[in-house]
Amino acid sequence: MTRTAGDVRIRPYRPGDAVDAAALRRICVRTGEMGGDARGHFRDPGVLPALFATPYAELDSGLVFVADDGDPDGPIGYIVGAPDTEAFYRDFRARWLPRIRDRFPVLPGRTDRDGELRALLHAPERMINAEVVRDHPAHLHIDLLPHGQRRGLGTRLMTAYCDALRERGVPGLHLAMNPANTAAHAFYLRYGFRPLREPSEDSPVLHLGLRL
């Protein structure tokens, strides 16, 4: 049966729910290669959710929302984030990294994406841009499986997340993205994000921001 967007419920993530936790990991991997499946592109693609999905659910599940279409395998999309980026990565190092560092050791001499993500996992502070977080302290990651895309679910997830940030008094949020991902770029601009920092040799990602 083909479900419409109206059949999908945007709801809070359920802490301790094995189905929700597995769905976050699965979605992150299946969308981790420029929106496509990252399996086969990494020595262990589990590094993607270990960096960009699971720690948010473990450290502050109140800002995790999922798109649930009733599939027994779990949600088909999610949004995760942190209200204070600098505080989040301090917590990441203190509480999350000790739990996963042995599974994802640094790969000395590896400069491919696998090596870079392993290095980033062990030095999460590198993801902080002081200029960006000054006025846009929160950040986010959002992913939808292919059959959940182009149905308005991204907008609904984003709205749930932004409303939750406003309730916490957060003034702005940002994200960092690969500028080659033109579909995602267009979505963020439609939602109201604006460029904060263009890619450079030191930082090849594009930073976008939204005032709340």
Q: How high is the pLDDT of residue 168?
A: 98
CATH class of residue range 5-170: alpha beta
Q: How high is the pLDDT of residue 6?
A: 61
Per-residue tokens: 33: 């290669």
For the segment 23-34, what is each residue's pLDDT rounded down to a tens digit? 999 999 999 887
Domain boundaries, the chain: 5-170
- Candidates 21, 28, 66; CA nearest to 45 is 28
Q: Model's pTM, two decimal places?
A: 0.93
Between these two residues, 170 and 32, which has the higher pLDDT value? 170
Neighbours of 92 (CB within 10 A): 20
Question: What distances in angstroms separate CA 88 from CA 94, 108, 124, 135, 193, one per listed residue?
Answer: 10, 26, 10, 16, 22
pLDDT band at 3 (very low <50, low <70, confident <90, very high): very low
Residue 171 has pLDDT above 90, yes or no: yes
For the segment 47-101, what is each residue's pLDDT rounded down to a tens digit? 999 999 999 999 999 999 999 999 999 999 999 999 999 999 999 999 999 999 9
- Candidates 61, 59, 37, 32; CA nearest to 48 is 32
Element (H, E) at 163: helix 153-167
Give 21's DSSP letter. Answer: H
